[in-house]
């Protein structure tokens, strides 16, 4: 019994020791400020000539519950008054607060910018709360029934006014230069078996630079420090090995360093480098994988691309933070549908532009050998793990979709795929692949390999080294039984589907 306890204790200590030795990201939070450029192109557009429209809609009353509360009231006894505690009744009323949209157009009516400044949200209010006259519930009910319409009108007006004030603040920040408060993390790394002193140095320099920029945005020593930090991060990334979790600069650390470079470059207004860096970080996030950190990186990407557009539009303008009063047109609730339509049109145009920029950056990286052409096509889910399907499934059954899929069929095994060692499932069915490379052994995390309906007449014996393979689908090929039996002998736990 004692030996078992000792063994378990040693096992736990070993596991803990292994965990401590694992390489991981080490963050430091920093608060600073950032010079926001106007979100609309002001060159040739006078701010006074801009047309600003505000759209919202009515609230929606939901359920209500009667409740009671102890209330301090004054009771008259003849000529005397006394303070008493009374149980009074009130309604707690749930309602849906309205969404709000702001739209900015030039003097000719061309849409320059649109954004939703408030989302539909659940809220609540009270009717008759702590009113002494409602010590009887029937009186409170009767008064509410009598004044429900006016109560709703007043609540609706208050909600819309709140939304308008919030939108007005947003508009001021969208049209004028302003300094925005920022808080984010700067990454270094830690691991018992490796020295990360150069990353600690870069982290300290960057944090110091951001603090200086909070006091003085144009501090030149801060800019120099950020440039030095970027140089260290770029040098360290030369040894990145995203396939090996035990590598000094593994995938997690690689993503964090790209994020560091993206933020620092944004602060230096080097937006081309910022966009490439954040793309490199986000590209390592498989489709379908959602964590707090992945969502932060995706949001950062949107922010960088938005700020890059604002900077390109207005970089030649003098930085003036002084503001003047803007005229905002408030539209009735009946016009909210038009506001939604304009917002949708603006977002489509913006998304198309962003996708095109993404593609250009990715194509350049692939051409330069800096990126795997299939990384962005990997999909992740808890059920399937990391999965790659080629050609990519469209989910459409139309003749046009089938013709497009037929055109994209692979005539050879894409050798770049063997570099995606994280893959758990590889689906290459319905192609024209004639042979499988021996390098497929690199994909040792594969659990499912679908090669059905290709033009295979053989399989490499190296396929038998994929020790984690649970399912091999090779129907629709002309592979000799002897080769299949050999693979089955090598992988007795793998189900081969013919």
Q: Looking at residue 288, what is its pLDDT? A: 78
Contact (Cβ atoms closer than 8 angstroms) between residue 441 and residue 464: no
pLDDT at position 413 over 80 = yes
* Whole-number Å distance between alpha carbons of 168 and 165: 5
* Whole-number Å distance between alpha carbons of 188 and 198: 9
Q: Looking at residue 14, what is its pLDDT? A: 38
Q: Looking at residue 475, what is its pLDDT? A: 96
pTM: 0.78
| pLDDT (average), residues 91-98 | 97
Closest CA to 257 of 232, 294, 275, 227: 232
Token pair in block for residue 269: 């207004």
Token pair in block for residue 86: 């009374």
pLDDT at position 21 over 60 = no
Domains of the chain (ranges plus CATH)?
26-35+178-314 (no CATH), 47-175 (no CATH), 375-497 (3.80.10.10)
Q: Looking at residue 384, what is its pLDDT? A: 86
| pLDDT (average), residues 301-319 | 95
Q: Are strands 385-389 and 328-330 parallel, antiparallel or unpaired?
A: unpaired
Q: Is 56 helix (H, G, I), strand (E, B) or coil?
A: strand
CA contacts within 13 A on the Cβ side of 353: 11
Q: Looking at residue 406, what is its pLDDT? A: 53
Q: Looking at residue 244, what is its pLDDT? A: 83
Beta-bridge mates of residue 61: 95
| pLDDT (average), residues 365-372 | 86
Q: Looking at residue 106, what is its pLDDT? A: 93
* Whole-number Å distance between alpha carbons of 161 and 148: 20
Please give the share of the chain, as a percent, with pLDDT higher than 90. 75
Closest CA to 376 of 215, 366, 73, 2: 366
User: What pLDDT, in 10s, does the model give residues 254-269?
Assistant: 999 999 999 999 999 9
User: What pLDDT, in 10s, does the model give residues 7-20?
Assistant: 333 333 333 333 44
Task: Respond yes or no on whether the N-terminal peptide bond of residue 391 is cis (omega within 30° of 0).
Answer: yes
Q: Looking at residue 400, what is its pLDDT? A: 46
Question: What confidence tier does 161 reach under pLDDT thresholds 50, 70, 90?
Answer: very high
Taking the alpha carbons of 56, 58, 64, 69 in that order, is the dihedral positive or negative? positive
Token pair in block for residue 137: 């519930």
Beta-bridge mates of residue 125: 93
Non-local (6+) Cβ contacts of 259 within 8 A are 187, 277, 278, 281, 297, 300
Rg (the chain; Cα; Å): 31
User: What pLDDT, in 10s, does the model give residues 425-455?
Assistant: 999 999 999 999 999 999 999 999 999 999 9
* Whole-number Å distance between alpha carbons of 371 and 380: 19
What is the secondary structure of 354-404 as a DSSP string?
A: HHHHHHHHHHHHHHTTSS-TTGGG-EEETTTEEEEESSPP----SHHHHHH
Q: Looking at residue 16, what is its pLDDT? A: 36
Beta-bridge mates of residue 102: 54, 115
pLDDT at position 380 over 90 = no
Strands lying side by side in the sheet with 60-77: 60-77, 80-97, 121-127
Q: Looking at residue 407, what is its pLDDT? A: 58
User: What pLDDT, in 10s, does the model give residues 189-238?
Assistant: 999 899 999 999 999 999 999 999 999 999 999 999 999 999 999 999 99
* Helices 292-314, 271-283: inter-axial angle, 10-degree rounding: 160
Token pair in block for residue 497: 């589907």
* Whole-number Å distance between alpha carbons of 428 and 389: 6
Longest dimension (CA), the chain: 111
pLDDT at position 5 over 70 = no
* Whole-number Å distance between alpha carbons of 403 and 215: 60
Closest CA to 108 of 168, 55, 45: 45
* Whole-number Å distance between alpha carbons of 474 and 495: 11
């Amino acid at each position: 019994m004692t030996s078992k306890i000792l063994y378990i204790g040693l096992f736990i200590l070993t596991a803990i020791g292994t965990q401590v030795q694992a390489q991981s990201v080490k963050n430091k939070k920093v608060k600073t400020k950032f010079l926001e450029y106007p979100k609309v192109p002001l060159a040739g557009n006078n701010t006074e000539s801009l047309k600003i429209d505000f759209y919202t809609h009515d609230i929606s009353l939901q359920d209500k519950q009667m409740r009671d509360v102890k209330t301090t009231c004054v009771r008259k006894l003849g000529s005397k008054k006394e303070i008493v505690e009374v149980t009074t009744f009130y309604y707690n009323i749930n309602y849906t607060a309205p969404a709000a949209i702001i739209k900015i157009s030039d003097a000719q009516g061309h849409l320059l910018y649109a954004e939703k400044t408030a989302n539909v949200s659940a809220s609540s209010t009270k009717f008759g709360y702590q009113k002494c006259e409602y010590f009887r519930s029937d009186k409170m009910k009767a008064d509410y029934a009598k004044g429900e319409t006016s109560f709703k009108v007043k609540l609706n007006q208050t909600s819309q006014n709140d939304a308008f004030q919030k939108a007005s603040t947003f508009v001021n920040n969208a049209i004028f230069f302003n300094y925005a408060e920022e808080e984010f993390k700067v990454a270094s790394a830690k691991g018992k078996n490796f020295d990360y002193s150069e990353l600690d140095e870069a982290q300290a320099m960057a944090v110091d630079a951001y603090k200086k920029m909070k006091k003085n945005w144009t501090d030149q020593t801060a800019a120099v420090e950020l440039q030095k930090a970027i140089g260290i991060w770029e040098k360290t990334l030369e040894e990145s090995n995203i396939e090996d979790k035990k590598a000094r600069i593994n995938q997690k650390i690689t993503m964090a360093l790209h994020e560091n470079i993206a933020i620092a470059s944004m602060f230096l207004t080097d937006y081309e480098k910022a966009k490439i860096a954040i793309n490199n970080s986000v590209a390592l996030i498989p489709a379908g994988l959602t964590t707090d950190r992945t969502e932060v990186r995706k949001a950062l990407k949107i922010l960088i691309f938005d700020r890059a557009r604002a900077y390109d539009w207005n970089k030649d303008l003098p930085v003036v933070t002084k503001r003047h009063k803007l005229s905002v047109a408030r539209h009735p609730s009946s016009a909210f549908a038009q506001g939604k339509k304009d917002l949708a049109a603006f977002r489509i145009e913006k998304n198309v532009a962003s996708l095109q920029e993404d593609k250009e950056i990715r194509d350049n990286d692939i051409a330069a050998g800096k990126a795997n052409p299939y990384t962005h096509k990997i999909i992740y889910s808890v059920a399937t793990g990391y999965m790659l399907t080629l050609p990519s499934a469209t989910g459409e059954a139309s003749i046009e979709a089938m013709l497009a899929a037929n055109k994209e069929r692979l005539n050879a095994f894409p050798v770049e795929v063997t570099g995606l060692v994280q893959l758990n499932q590889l689906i290459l069915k319905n192609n024209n692949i004639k042979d499988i490379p021996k390098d497929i052994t690199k994909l040792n995390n594969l659990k499912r390999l679908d090669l059905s309906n290709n033009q295979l007449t053989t399989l490499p014996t190296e396929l038998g080294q994929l020790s984690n393979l649970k399912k091999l689908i090779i129907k629709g090929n002309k592979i000799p039984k002897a080769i299949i039996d050999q693979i089955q002998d090598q992988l007795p736990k793998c189900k081969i589907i013919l």
